[in-house]
Structure 1
Amino acid sequence: MKIQQAHPHPRFNAAGTKVVFTSDWTGYCQVYEAEGPEFRGCRRRSRRAREPTEGEQHVANETCRVAAALAAAWIGGPATGGAEAGAGMTFGPGDLCLLVGERASLVERRAADLFAAEVRRRTALDVPVGSVARAKHALVAGTAASGDEASAFAEQRPEVAKLGPDGYCLATTPDANGRLHVVGQSPSGVVAGLGKLLRLARYAERAVVVPAVTLTDTPQLPVRGIYFATHFGNFYHVAPLDEVDRVIEDFALWGGNSLTVWFDMHHFSGFDDPAAQAHVGRLKHFGETARGLGMQFGLAFLANEAYNTSPEPLRAKWLPGWPHYHVELCPSKPEGLALTGKWQAQILSAFPNVDFIWTWPYDQGGCACDQCKPWGANGFLRASEQLARLYHERFPEGKVWLSTWLFDSLSGAQGEYAGLLRYLREQKPSWLGGILGGTHGDALPKVLDERPDPERYPLTCFPEISMYQMSPWGGCGANPLPGFCGRLMDNLRERTPFVRGRIQGGWPYSEGIYEDLNKFLWSQFFWSPGRPTEDMLAEYASYYLCPEATADAVRLFHLLEETHPRTNWRVRNLAQAEEAWALAEALDARLPTWAKASWRWRLLYVRAAIDHVLKSNRHVTAEARSALQPLCDELVRLYHAQNTFIRPAPLPTPKDTANLALDHPVRVSSTHPECADSERMLTNGILAQDDPQDFWVHDPSKEKTAWVVVDLGESKAIKEVRLQFRGLYGQFWFVPSSLAFEVSDDGERFQQVMTSQAVPKEGSEYSPDLRTCEIGMKGRYLRLTLGASQHVAPPYPGALELTEVEVYGP
């Protein structure tokens, strides 16, 4: 494969007749000179020539820019061919139609309609679609089998016969009959080819510039998928069907060929629940959309999944720290395994076409009983075997992918990878089609390279592009992660060769539209793993925003990643927020109308605006709340998130100035080394619902109990103390067994006020409400002693935590 690595620096000469550029496609960086395009407005005109209109000049300048870019970028082309660029054409009203063959498949016809609709949306130019040419020039789109014209083109061009699966050939220099061609090896190749041409073209009012390019391209990886997490009221769960369809269509135009969805049982009381039936219908619609674009469609299953009405005696055991719905079933109980199978069979039977399934271990899922542990190498495999059998009874040719998500990372579940590899070596399961490697970080576990028979059990990946370093997911708008994605891509590139026994592609994990750029990056990586990330960013910016502002947009993407890590309204680093905001404002003024109004740009713009507000005002001020509210409201509208947690966090609660402890000094007996200086958070007025990362934790390696002393500055009457305890996974965690309160005027001699064991029970349902303790004494110093922790199991056994200490007078 040859990829342009040198920076092109394309330049036209003064007459506009030649373009000079750099390229390293021969293996050495060289300077090249090529004849420039014969476009309107590109060359110098004689004084007698008519001056072009503003619209014509814009299109002409764009055409010249495109020609330069095409000449400089991807000169070597992909593995199956190459790229050539030359003169292109500007098409106005009545100049161009789209010709599909008389034998074209529904996929090819759908791709043609999408191409025409996108041109119309951007330019108001109508490009008729049909089997009969209705303009001087016609773009022929299809496979060689779809019609006579595509077939004749394929016979004349030997490179078409060399295309690999889903590859395409673009030849957009009009032939003697005025034909331009997009010919695919498959209907999916036609979709991808038309998508590429859309991204190469340039747009103006009632005009489209089609560059004259000859390009053959074939995807290198066979699995180019996306996973829609269709649950929890996220975008895929609640948005209008046509909006989700548009996301699927765009993904297919990017070259994607696989969609996975999940029927999350725990939302429903049973398969006959009206809400469950409605959701099945929704997922079937997405499957029809995907298959109508030439994509495969698959279902994800938790191996021991259950409805929220599952029988309690059959439920699985879980351990603290396990993400669990607490309704899953134990497969070591025969009735539990049978009931899980019955429910899974109902779901499978509801879908007419399921090309593959996933069997998933955790998040949610799992069982920690003695008969099932370690889950990933024991109970999970037995439950997965049953699921695979049920699936193959209905879809004999389908493929089963086994996920290793969270393997060896939860308490009480070590040895899962080792057990899985042993199972593959000894059992050689025929039901298993491949491994879906789970990773929350920027590297795929190396242990997966040690699996036996890697060609029989190929490896795919599951890039986490939705939740990384952010809570709530998408709560502040777009989350561009080019650096994070790039590091994982580099890790995967090291596992060459890709297809034969190594990486066959994957499915990024998507919770909504806010990670659109990340989706695009992975679709392009799976198509061509060697392609530089910066090239992908530039293509996205040029197509979805503005060609003239590509460099600024790419810079904005990187800046937004630098300010990305956040929890609610706490942002780790806002140093680049002002530069990002300045770029966003400048870009907003330059974008064409259609791009400026698009949800893709609005999510980027809102994100920059939110960071600007947080940098300027901090999140706890009245000014910040006033500025943030309309931005949050826009995100809720874009996500259709009126009734879901995948939305902006609630605006912070104003600090209560009646709190006598607010921002006053605190001393503690110890602080955990991983949370150094966290004691200052005890009196900063920030509650858990505003920032769940704002808490103090003591050091259990030094002491079983702990004390906290708050200095009120002077002796004051204390009516009551209010405490907020720590919550995780919807439950109370790290709770003391008792409380004791003392007051002092000098900080040395304390008088005991009260003791209490009225504390939350560890593991009970969490509530952020503050617990009130009556004091009724006067003093400058308040000392709170926390009894031994109720939390005795990993992680952090014996730890004590508090979120906030508030003190109030009469």
Structure 2
Amino acid sequence: MNKSVLFFLCVFCFRSIAQTIDISEARIYTSVTDKQVLRRSVEVLQQEVKKRSHLDWPLLTKLPSDGKPYVGIALESDLSGFPIRVREEIRKLPVINAEGFKLLVIPETKAVFVVGKDARGILYGVGRLLRKMEISHTLVSISDKLSMATSPKYPVRGHQLGYRPKTNAYDAFTVEQFDQYIRELALFGANSIEIMPPRTDDDATSRHMKLPAIKMIGEQARICKEYGLDVWMWYPNMGSNYTHPDSIQKELKERHEVFSSVSPLDHVFVPGGDPGDLEPDVLFAWLEKMSVVLKKYHPKAKIWVSPQVFRPTKKWFDAFFGHVNKNYPWFGGVVFGPWVKMPVQEIRRVVNANIPIRHYPDITHNYSAQYPVPHWDLAYAMTLGRESINPRPHDEKVIHNALDEYGVGSISYSEGTNDDVNKFVWSDQDWNPDTPVIETLRDYARLFFGPEYQESAAQALISLENNLKGPLLTNEGVARTLMQWQTIEEDASPELWQNPRFQMGLIRAYYDAYTRRRLLYETEVEQEAKDILGRIRSGSSLANIQRAKAALEKAWQWPILPEYRRKCFVLADSLYRSIGAQLTIAKHGAMSGRGNFLDNIDIPLNDAPYMLDQLTKIEKLSSESERLQKIDQLLRRTDPGPGGFYDHFGSPESWYRVVSDIPWEKDPGSLQSPRIGFGVGLVGEEWVDEIKATGFKGQVTPRVWMKQAKTLYDQPLKIAYTELDPQSSYRMKIAYTGRFRSRMKLTTDDGSVIHDFLQTGEQPLFEFDVPQKATADGKVTFIWNCGEGERGSQVTEIWLMKK
């Protein structure tokens, strides 16, 4: 290649590379005069730039011609105020639809144009501009190649912001904080906010609330109106009776008070259950009466309903969808959310084509949820718990895109700020499911952390998600994740230190690293105790039991990394001050199981509680031979004997036996496939004591009983064994633990019945003979089925022992 050609190619490449242009001294001009169209869009642009740069961008009354930077804002239908060249360039961009916008940069004049299809399009165009600009203390710049035309794929895009004590931060928000948070969600394309009435399945008030709930929901609705967003209300049926006239009048009176206190109100979502289970005939008769009150205050509002019920039956569903398909004039559509038994694909088939389906995705919980973290490590389940700070950007995209085509969009189920990253990823996916996760995270980091952290913070958030994947014991990436966040921490400005989004990421990085180091330490401590017990000989049991107990107690007698632990509490205090996040019960006023994961920071991560309980009982035995026998049984608890098999189905090494025909990516809600479950589950449906793992009649249980394989509702759970001895007979011991107390039946693939329906939750261990014919070919598949209306099958351990 000759030098002249090479020179030409280099110049061409250089000119093609995007450059940034300085628009720090920009002004704003808009040809829109209708305040109902502009709403707060110009104000948002001015305020968000000033917050980050301290620069004032004034609003001009006419198009500038002095060659200095400016931002032009217009409706696509009226570009007459812009120069001819600008109009031509804007028209060259692809067609946009409702709520869409176009962005265009003219480098020569340092002019930026935001063109909306409608009022919302202008707001979302301003949002995308703010996401793409680099704004620092005294400099605002933007790529000279910025050019786009985009419209949302789905018409419903939003999040639930419930002002009630059960949330882990929202109940501490001020009006100003709700305004800012709603604004930020809108910057990423949200067009709907779902609020709640004062009475739900929760306390009426909390020590954190700045206003009574009835006043705050009025403020939330007002804020949405100012931004031009839709207002939804999640309104469960909390009354005790919906057939008696007196009870109905009492409920209607409450609806009058609530519906008259908010404006606007565009839709009301009434869950079929969780809470407020009602039979469909009663439910729809009540909704008919409620619709009259709703229409009085909000004539265009519609009522949406979910087939959400804990113990569903075919009769219930037939009646429910029979009502849905009657097309009541007040009926808006069907909501697909947590604890809806029927896959959304099936719902789409059974409801009339003109009836919309709205997704109600649970993006806030880690387990016992609609979309749990797949194959989550037990150490995380015990410490981070059900509702922790949980950025899951890539998981959220997979979950969204597996099911999005069956609905008109979504409004997420959120219990606070812990799922903050997930909200913004989900909104971007509702706008365009092809949006790469990293693009959203870079925008998020650039806007909320600062342009200097665009790449480091985006990658650090991905690393927090990666921390949650696979066995924690071998996840060496957890230490690297902490290093990433520490690098940001070392250079953090005072403003960043006060930034709750930075605080949330940093506390998770330290918490994860602390948890993994404890797991390594405590796993070794447990093995040390077992080694001591394994060396016991006749006459030495009592002394060695004491030594083993002392070894087990090392974890709390001589804890490791106290500086990491202190750091977590300091950051928890910072989050409480900045956004009212409640990470502990005693100090921060959290509700149990609702974001207070810091209370779990010292939970034992080994079997020390169980072993100490067993050793204390063994010590009390009077016979040395009996003590030795019990110690041997303790050490051999999982031994299936010669030629036998043992599996714990919460462990990755046993999961290959669990039959699954549908990958997680296709069925993230596991309505048609198995999932991992957590819980011991005798008293109620939650873990009785997470620290000691008690559950069955107060006894301290093995740690493995906290994690099991499970299916939901009447979906069969199948577990397959191969390489059995076809000449032998087997006896089967099973541990049935878990969150649900279900009636289950166990059969085999050849039709043999191992046991008929029995009630789990009464005792953990059962033993049965396996018919020899079931294993005569050297393999067998065990199949568990629940009775109709049950919540699911769950199996924790299996011993197959040769007889």
Q: TM-score, normalised by structure 2?
A: 0.63
TM superposition shift of 1:182: 0.8
Of stretches 615-624 and 239-248 in structure 1, the one that deviates more from structure 2 is 615-624
Q: Note if contact 1:341-1:390 (Cα within 8 Å) is conserved in structure 2.
A: yes
Of stretches 542-551 and 583-592 in structure 1, the one that deviates more from structure 2 is 542-551
Q: 2:366 aligns with which of 441, 447, 468?
A: 468
Q: Partner amino acid for 2:412? A: P
Report whether the alignment pairs 1:580 with 2:580: no
**In angstroms, what is the RMSD of aligned CA positions?**
4.9
Between the aligned partners of 1:270 and 1:583, the Cα distance in structure 2 is 42
| Alignment partner, residue 293 of structure 2 | 390
Between the aligned partners of 1:788 and 1:216, the Cα distance in structure 2 is 61
Alpha-carbon deviations, 1:667-717, whole Å to 9, x = none?
589999768999x999xxxx978726924659xxxxxxx99999xxxxxxx
| Alignment partner, residue 357 of structure 1 | 268
Report whether the alignment pairs 1:489 with 2:400: yes
Q: Note if contact 1:545-1:596 (Cα within 8 Å) is conserved in structure 2.
A: no
Report whether the alignment pairs 1:198 with 2:96: no
Match of 1:171, SS state, is strand
TM superposition shift of 1:184: 0.9
The structure where helix makes up a greater share of residues is 2
TM superposition shift of 1:350: 1.9
Percentage of identical aligned residues: 17
Report whether the alignment pairs 1:140 with 2:72: yes
Give unmatched runs, 5+ long, in structure 1: 1-12, 20-32, 38-63, 68-86, 306-327, 496-501, 699-705, 711-724, 727-762, 764-786, 802-810
| Alignment partner, residue 459 of structure 1 | 357
Between the aligned partners of 1:663 and 1:628, the Cα distance in structure 2 is 33
| CA 1:172–1:690: 2 relative to 1, 3 Å | farther
Match of 1:435, SS state, is strand
Between the aligned partners of 1:709 and 1:694, the Cα distance in structure 2 is 6
Q: 1:231 aligns with which of 159, 164, 179?
A: 164
Match of 1:430, SS state, is coil
Q: Partner amino acid for 1:301? A: Y
Matched residue pairs, number? 595
Between the aligned partners of 1:531 and 1:329, the Cα distance in structure 2 is 46
- Alignment map for 1:64-83 (pairs within 5 Å): 67=18
| CA 1:301–1:276: 2 relative to 1, 3 Å | farther
- Alignment map for 1:609-758 (pairs within 5 Å): 609-617=510-518, 621=556, 622-623=559-560, 624=562, 625-640=565-580, 641=582, 642-645=588-591, 646-649=594-597, 650=599, 661-662=612-613, 664=615, 691=690, 694-695=693-694
Report whether the alignment pairs 1:516 with 2:516: no
Between the aligned partners of 1:267 and 1:651, the Cα distance in structure 2 is 25
| CA 1:673–1:162: 2 relative to 1, 3 Å | closer
Match of 1:149, SS state, is coil
- Structure scoring higher RCO (CA < 8 A, sep ≥ 6) equals 2
Match of 2:391, SS state, is coil
Q: Partner amino acid for 2:448? A: Y
Q: 2:332 aligns with which of 426, 433, 444?
A: 433
Between the aligned partners of 2:614 and 2:165, the Cα distance in structure 1 is 37
- Alignment map for 1:98-113 (pairs within 5 Å): 98-101=28-31, 103-105=33-35, 108=38, 110-113=40-43
| Alignment partner, residue 347 of structure 2 | 448
Q: Note if contact 1:442-1:487 (Cα within 8 Å) is conserved in structure 2.
A: no
| CA 1:97–1:227: 2 relative to 1, 3 Å | same
The structure where strand makes up a greater share of residues is 1
Q: Note if contact 2:680-2:695 (Cα within 8 Å) is conserved in structure 1.
A: yes
TM superposition shift of 1:639: 4.2
Q: 2:15 aligns with which of 24, 31, 36?
A: 36
| Alignment partner, residue 151 of structure 2 | 218
Between the aligned partners of 1:443 and 1:530, the Cα distance in structure 2 is 27
Q: Partner amino acid for 1:528? A: N
| CA 1:217–1:260: 2 relative to 1, 3 Å | same
Alpha-carbon deviations, 1:88-120, whole Å to 9, x = none?
52134xx31122346142662522222222222
TM superposition shift of 1:196: 0.7
Match of 2:106, SS state, is coil
Between the aligned partners of 1:137 and 1:128, the Cα distance in structure 2 is 12
Give unmatched runs, 5+ long, in structure 2: 368-380, 523-554, 583-587, 616-630, 641-645, 655-676, 707-740, 742-760, 765-785, 797-803
Between the aligned partners of 2:270 and 2:468, the Cα distance in structure 1 is 32
| Alignment partner, residue 467 of structure 2 | 563
| CA 1:527–1:489: 2 relative to 1, 3 Å | same
Alpha-carbon deviations, 1:355-406, whole Å to 9, x = none?
1111112222214xxxx3xxxx34333333332332223322222221233x
Report whether the alignment pairs 1:420 with 2:320: yes
- Alignment map for 1:276-287 (pairs within 5 Å): 278-287=212-221
Between the aligned partners of 2:204 and 2:48, the Cα distance in structure 1 is 41
Q: Note if contact 2:173-2:210 (Cα within 8 Å) is conserved in structure 1.
A: no
TM superposition shift of 1:290: 1.4
Alpha-carbon deviations, 1:428-486, whole Å to 9, x = none?
333211111114699953321213322x2111111111113268989886311123212
Between the aligned partners of 2:701 and 2:486, the Cα distance in structure 1 is 47
Q: Note if contact 1:476-1:607 (Cα within 8 Å) is conserved in structure 2.
A: no
- Alignment map for 1:65-464 (pairs within 5 Å): 67=18, 88-92=20-24, 95-101=25-31, 103-105=33-35, 108=38, 110-132=40-62, 136-143=68-75, 149=81, 157-158=90-91, 162-173=95-106, 179-212=111-144, 213-232=146-165, 234=167, 235-266=169-200, 278-302=212-236, 304-305=237-238, 328-367=239-278, 372=279, 377-405=280-308, 407=309, 410-411=310-311, 413=313, 415-425=315-325, 427-439=326-338, 445-454=344-353, 456-464=354-362
Between the aligned partners of 2:793 and 2:127, the Cα distance in structure 1 is 57
Q: Partner amino acid for 1:100? A: T
| CA 1:591–1:528: 2 relative to 1, 3 Å | farther
| CA 1:263–1:681: 2 relative to 1, 3 Å | closer
Between the aligned partners of 2:436 and 2:223, the Cα distance in structure 1 is 31
Between the aligned partners of 2:461 and 2:342, the Cα distance in structure 1 is 22
| CA 1:196–1:693: 2 relative to 1, 3 Å | farther
TM superposition shift of 1:595: 4.4
Q: Note if contact 1:145-1:151 (Cα within 8 Å) is conserved in structure 2.
A: no
| CA 1:659–1:185: 2 relative to 1, 3 Å | closer
Match of 1:125, SS state, is coil
Between the aligned partners of 1:798 and 1:144, the Cα distance in structure 2 is 56
TM superposition shift of 1:16: 13
Between the aligned partners of 1:529 and 1:658, the Cα distance in structure 2 is 47
| CA 1:107–1:575: 2 relative to 1, 3 Å | farther
